[in-house]
Amino acid sequence: MERHNQILQDIADKIRDFYKLRQPYRVFSSSTRPRHATDTNIIDISMLSQVISVDSAQRNCLVEPNVPMDRLVEATMPFGIIPPVVMEFPGITAGGGFAGTSGESSSFRHGFFNETVNSVEMILGNGDTIRASREEHEDLFHGAAGAAGT
């Protein structure tokens, strides 16, 4: 968790700097489309790709946004659990499934993937880090789900 918190702090610091300087920036993740433009103000979040913990008693896990479905299933199966909605394409990430309104055949029972997410950490445009859920910052939680990364 210490690794995760340090990466999150580094990203938040960079965003805060761009915000203070009023400079635009681009977020790069492991699934970002290639571009020919030479961007200098890039926030790289591709290293946020770990399953941090699995809690079989609570039947949940803590994952970073760039964890693909196949790795999420591999990490949870030894604990006798899998996500209620597992997208068919193994490369879809947890963050992509949340932001992209991903569904599969089990969605008739569990809803879209984002409806199985308990909370998300967000770094706001000014560099502040928050936790959003159905109970706190619920407007951001529901607004970010299905926002397709916008």
CATH code of residue 65: 3.30.465.10
Q: What is the per-residue pLDDT for 37?
A: 55
Question: What does the alpha-carbon distance between residue 54 and residue 79 come to, in Å, rounded to a whole number?
Answer: 8
pLDDT of residue 36 exceeding 70, the answer is no
Q: What is the per-residue pLDDT for 89?
A: 81
Quick check: is 42 in a domain? yes
Strand-pair category, 60-63 with 51-55: antiparallel
Q: Which domain holds residue 20?
A: 2-144
Quick check: is 150 in a domain? no
Q: Summarize pLDDT for 75-131 with one digit per residue, the tens.
A: 999 999 988 878 888 888 999 888 887 767 676 676 677 888 999 999 999 999 999
Task: Give Cα separations from 18 to 12, 43, 80, 88, 143 (angstroms).
Answer: 10, 10, 44, 37, 24
Looking at per-residue pLDDT, the higher value among 32 and 139 belongs to 139
Quick check: is 7 in a domain? yes
SS3 63: strand
Quick check: is 84 in a domain? yes
Quick check: is 107 in a domain? yes
pLDDT of residue 13 exceeding 80, the answer is yes
Quick check: is 149 in a domain? no
The contacts found for 37-45 with CB under 8 angstroms, 24 or more apart, are 43/11, 43/14, 43/15, 43/18, 45/11
Q: Summarize pLDDT for 52-71 with one digit per residue, the tens.
A: 999 999 999 999 999 999 99
Number of structural domains (the chain) is: 1
pTM across the whole model: 0.86
